[in-house]
Amino acid sequence: MAQAYMTESGPGGPDTGRTGSRARRLAAARFGPGTWRRGILLAVCSVLIALLMVFHSRVPNRVGNLGSLLETFLPWVGLALPVLLVLGLLRRSATALVALVLPLAVWLNLFGGLVTDKAGSGGALTVVTHNVNADNPDPAGTAREIAGSGADVVALQELKQGAVPAYEEGLAAEYPHHQVEGTVGLWSKYPLSDVRGVDIEMGWTRAMRGTVGTPDGPVAVYVAHLPSVRVKLNAGFTAEQRDNSAEALGIAIRDEPLERVVLLGDLNGTMNDRALSPVTSQMRSTQGAAGDGFGFSWPASFPMARIDQVMVRGVEPVSSWSLPSTASDHLPVAASVDF
């Protein structure tokens, strides 16, 4: 009887057998061949997302400027990856998890360099650009904050005529040289010369250039505020006017005789946006070359895109960063460059 009892309930008995069988079934359910058959749709989604990021420039602009809209927010496509990861884990799908490596590799190839700190120290010239917002409720306070940045050159956009005196007064102590053209202005610690408006086909002045006489030689500084873009249900991404202005600005920069050129402004577009190629193809972004992170500048309450740019030609970016928010809906952005 003892032997029978041991056979039924001891090692190798029916209870243990049932437990082992249950464990094997669970292991098979989790790690068996089914893990490769499940999640095919998730794997397809991963491949499609990877293709979308690789071939974003092939997404046509003919219908609602969808290509430019995608490129404006292209880094955010990466948010789909953790979602697919969670779904793949819930489905216990090896196929979905392995396929996820492809879009992850593409995203890192496109944007991995932006998440590292490439900023150096020093610099011969520090610049700040800020869209101050025409409806800024505190222009005097915004001017004080910008004056405290320590920049050598300041460019402001969206200057409302009635608010210009407040900016002039708030910046006068730090920047004895300045000029306003239309709705953009340039302030400098160094003498300005050859200051004039730049026609970007707007009908009024929203761009200018000036020569800044630094101790290390002249620098052509452009200030620009390209037309705004909108997303409309009936029209898509309305950016035609901005695209035309970008082409006109690109021509002006191309024809600039000085070797050292700095562009400061709200371009209403990101470096990925193909429509800005007349400008971006001939200049370097300080954020991409010497920034720390993506440097998103708009909207100030929850920055989602880098549409305020510091771009250079003939000088070397040293560092690039965002300044604390002001009463504007944009963040000020700054950069230091070397000659």
Q: Please report the pLDDT score of residue 267 as a whole number.
A: 97
Average pLDDT over residues 123-134: 97
- The yes-or-no verdict on residue 36 having pLDDT over 80 is no
| CATH number 3.60.10.10 given to 125-338 | yes
- The yes-or-no verdict on residue 240 having pLDDT over 90 is no
The 8-class DSSP code of residue 158 comes to S
- The yes-or-no verdict on residue 4 having pLDDT over 50 is no
- The yes-or-no verdict on residue 17 having pLDDT over 80 is no
Mean pLDDT computed over every residue of the chain: 90
**pTM here?**
0.85
Per DSSP bridges, beta strands 125-131 and 153-157 are parallel
Q: Please report the pLDDT score of residue 5 as a whole number.
A: 42
Q: How confident is the model at residue 19 (pLDDT cuts 50, 70, 90)?
A: low
The 8-class DSSP code of residue 56 comes to G
pLDDT tens track for 61-73 = 887 788 888 999 9
CA dihedral 322, 326, 329, 333 (to 10 degrees): -20
- The yes-or-no verdict on residue 83 having pLDDT over 60 is yes
pLDDT tens track for 138-177 = 999 999 999 999 999 999 999 999 999 999 999 999 999 9
pLDDT tens track for 306-330 = 999 999 999 999 999 999 999 999 9
pLDDT tens track for 92-123 = 999 999 999 999 999 999 999 898 889 998 89
Q: Residue 54's closest CA among 281, 292, 272, 282? A: 272
Q: Please report the pLDDT score of residue 124 as a whole number.
A: 95
Q: How confident is the model at residue 24 (pLDDT cuts 50, 70, 90)?
A: low
Q: Please report the pLDDT score of residue 29 as a whole number.
A: 52
What is the rounded distance in angstroms from the CA atom of residue 174 to the CA atom of residue 184? 18
Q: Please report the pLDDT score of residue 218 as a whole number.
A: 98
